Structure 1
Amino acid sequence: MNQFKTLALLSVLSALLISISYYTIGGTGGVIIGVAIAAMTNLGSWFYSDKIALAAHQAQPVSKEAEPALYAMVEKLAAKADIPMPGVYILPTQSANAFATGRDPEHAAVAVTQGIMAMLSRDELEGVIAHELSHIMNRDTLTQAVAATIAGAISFLAQMLQYSMWFGGSNSREDNGPNPIALMATLILAPMAATVIQLGISRTREFAADAGAAQLTGNPRALANALQRLEASAKKMPMTGNPAYEPLMIMHAVPKQMFSGLFSTHPATDLRVERLMALEQEVATA
């Protein structure tokens, strides 16, 4: 089912990318350029999604000797989840966050920041790692990487169009030239459309990964506590980087502003905590 959703997401975002190219660049040339960008983006996100995401955050690989406690934690939870041992990486930032990436469990990686390792207790960090491994188990990482990569390409195209309008753009339209109205619509709507599509896959998958983490660790409260601390930390020390990769993170990288919750890639932390506490109650009752 997740593979079908990935294919559907890839198709919709690719169609959006090609349409933007057609209406802004114009004519057959615009379609050809859009198809070429979509093809390169799709192939790149399929084969190199993990490398792209890790490189974007300057993640460094971790050996068992360098970080024995972290490595052992990932190794134990991966064995419990019955998936291959993923690569382990550390992001050189004091912002507290974590993410998983890779096209399948055989090509996966888990990355945590220096900040999250310093801030969370062992049980809380274990809950976070279990959450990321749940994404790998559910094959969410490919879907999230495809969405992030193509959405990033759409935003990049819109930004390039904006520069072209500022520096030498024309308000006239030739038969096969760019449409000024489409240009303006693209600048405003394209990044928003890509984000809205991402919302359709991110929020439900976060709930599922939270539940998977609770099952792996048997300690829903530890993850709930971690989420609350991560949200508080994000307000004080937001994580910088390409916003297209925010859906990969366990917590939104920047603090939410007024109305931004409508376009947040993550469910409200209070709701995630509430569901985790309900799971704890179910376990206690059982």
Structure 2
Amino acid sequence: MSTETGWGAPVVSAVSVVAYALAMIGVAVACWIGIFLLWGVAIGPDSALAAATAIAACPALALGYVAVSMDGNPTLAMAAYVVCLAGATATFLAAVWATVFLFTVIPLGFDAAATVAGLVTLALAATAAAVSVGALTAVGEATDWTLAFRMAVAILLLVLITIGFLAAIWLVAFVLSSLFVGPILGVYAAGGITVLATAVLGYHEYTQVASIEQRADATPTTADDLPGIHATTTKVAAQLGVPMPTIAISETHAPEAMVVGFRPSEMHLILSYGAVTALTDAQLEAVIAHELAHVANRDAMVMTAVSAPVVLADGLRARVRDDVWLHGGRERDDEEWEPPAERPDPDEEWGDDEIFGPNDEWRTMTQPSKSDDDDANESDGWLISLVLFVVATVAWVVSRAITAVLSRARETAADRTAVEVTGSPATLAGALRALDDRITQTPTRDLREVASVSSLSILPLEPMATDPGDPDSIFGRARNRLHRLRVRLFRSHPPTERRLADLETLERERR
């Protein structure tokens, strides 16, 4: 049975419309119930009916506007994303209520804390409803609503992961603080520790990351060096209304094409010899349009912001892992190291890895012997570190998978913007095929050298298709399955075949 022609297509369309309508009604009803209960507890039941009706009408009207303004009928995917978006929003508001309540119940009492938590949550709910209406009506009728809903769901889920991750850190800090200062002061001490730890981890991670341009080994160029590329980039930048980026060329055969930077005025467009030599002039223009579309869409800023839970969780994992390795009875064997013959001068060479070892082994070796009490404290600290490591690992895996979903959505949006600029989906499709062929021809060693910037390039540069295990053995098959699962969860780009199919669909629509 075909769903493209005959009676199958109308049936699928009708089912999709009904599913979307039911999702819209369900969202409105759930919103009404939640607001009614919150309003009744926080303000009183007298005006709860009118307030709940007014606020619940906002998402209903917004979803109705989407249905009538889009090109075609709503799809089953849109209905599913609406339900996911509503569930994530409700969970977020519940987390806000619980957080405010826990921080105010001790000083204010149960009833007053419930009132304060209800008022804060109501304010957020009303703001979210107003923002949703304004955003949906401002983006225009040409929006890909399925893509927009998917991105909204991803962002909300990342917010929830961040809240859960910080809540777990707060809980550990609260348990420890309560032992020393009591439960009342422990609440606020744990809050301060959580905020401080988050700030330190975030600052450390973002300031310690090396420059992407340096990692890509790219050299800035001028218009005299590459007049053709500079002229094409200037034209595309003017079409998209973005500042002219600095163009840097990477001397590698791996086909790199990426933009890096946080603000549009500071963007660098990095192209490799491998990418430039693999493309025709028209294909190179399409690739440049794709990359500058990221600038126009503020993707660097968006992805930096939403990657916060990944950065925080990964930073905590790294530090806890080092703590467990150094103090939990395990030794690191990253490199051979011999302790110095004599104590170094701290004014001259203090902190040098050649003196102290890659993980300060020299300082560890010169510490005085530990007492039984120290061993007991270290055992307790190792257990706490293990708990934090598990929490951080779970947060890292989930948040990285969600960030990958959002990254794939941004790549799809950049493809469509590039097509609008060049007017030729076939040209961008040809560029993707040419770059994909060049990646296949590039030695695995060269791809591994640029793996650190793979997620930023127009196509992933990692050798993802390589099977890491022997398919004839049980362990090899298990490793292959894990490898495919990792690729599916953490892939930063949509599969190239899917992108080509989407571009072919756009090409047919333009004929």
Relative distance call for 1:65 and 1:204 in structure 2 (3 A) is same
Equivalent residue for 1:144?
A: 303
1-side partners of 2:317 and 2:239: how far apart?
Answer: 44
Shift of 1:214: 0.9
Equivalent residue for 1:34?
A: 198
Give the alignment of 1:7-156 within 5 angstroms: 15=163, 18=166, 27=176, 28=190, 31=194, 32-38=196-202, 52-147=211-306, 151-152=310-311, 154-156=313-315
Matched, 1:227 2:432: yes
Equivalent residue for 2:503?
A: 276
Q: Which amino acid aligns with 2:199?
A: V
**1:224-278 CA distance string (max 9 Å, x none):** 12212323333443253464x5432211121324231232111111111111111
For the 8 Å contact 1:101–1:142, the answer to whether it is kept is no
For the 8 Å contact 1:173–1:180, the answer to whether it is kept is no
Matched, 1:180 2:386: yes
Aligned counterpart for 1:200 among listed residues 383, 405, 415: 405
Equivalent residue for 2:457?
A: 249
Q: Greater CA deviation, 220-229 or 271-280? A: 220-229
Matched, 1:209 2:418: no
For the 8 Å contact 1:125–1:226, the answer to whether it is kept is yes
Relative distance call for 1:145 and 1:57 in structure 2 (3 A) is farther
| SS at 1:183 equivalent | helix
Relative distance call for 1:87 and 1:15 in structure 2 (3 A) is farther
| SS at 1:178 equivalent | helix
2-side partners of 1:13 and 1:87: how far apart?
Answer: 36
Relative distance call for 1:149 and 1:95 in structure 2 (3 A) is farther
**1:86-122 CA distance string (max 9 Å, x none):** 1211223211021112333323221112211121221
2-side partners of 1:97 and 1:16: how far apart?
Answer: 36
1-side partners of 2:211 and 2:309: how far apart?
Answer: 12
For the 8 Å contact 2:316–2:389, the answer to whether it is kept is no
Q: Which amino acid aligns with 1:210?
A: D
Q: Which amino acid aligns with 1:193?
A: V
2-side partners of 1:35 and 1:173: how far apart?
Answer: 25
2-side partners of 1:241 and 1:23: how far apart?
Answer: 39
| SS at 1:200 equivalent | helix
Shift of 1:154: 3.6
Q: Which amino acid aligns with 2:460?
A: H
For the 8 Å contact 1:158–1:190, the answer to whether it is kept is no
Larger-Rg structure? 2
Aligned pairs, how many? 275
Q: Identity of aligned pairs, percent? A: 24
**1:178-221 CA distance string (max 9 Å, x none):** 242332453x4343233113123211111111011111111211
Shift of 1:177: 7.3
TM-score by length of 2: 0.47
Q: Which amino acid aligns with 1:92?
A: E
Q: Greater CA deviation, 246-255 or 265-274? A: 246-255
For the 8 Å contact 1:93–1:115, the answer to whether it is kept is yes
What's the C-alpha RMSD, in Å, of the aligned pairs? 3.5
Shift of 1:282: 1.6
Higher relative contact order (CA 8 A, sep 6+): 1
**1:133-188 CA distance string (max 9 Å, x none):** 111111112122445576355434323322321222278325x97242332453x4
Relative distance call for 1:251 and 1:153 in structure 2 (3 A) is farther
Matched, 1:263 2:490: yes
2-side partners of 1:76 and 1:163: how far apart?
Answer: 50
2-side partners of 1:19 and 1:191: how far apart?
Answer: 15
TM-score by length of 1: 0.80
Relative distance call for 1:61 and 1:151 in structure 2 (3 A) is farther
| SS at 2:508 equivalent | helix
1-side partners of 2:289 and 2:277: how far apart?
Answer: 18
Q: Mind listing any 5+ residue stretches in structure 1 that lack a counterpart?
A: none
Q: Greater CA deviation, 137-146 or 209-218? A: 137-146
For the 8 Å contact 1:95–1:239, the answer to whether it is kept is no
Relative distance call for 1:152 and 1:37 in structure 2 (3 A) is closer
| SS at 1:60 equivalent | strand
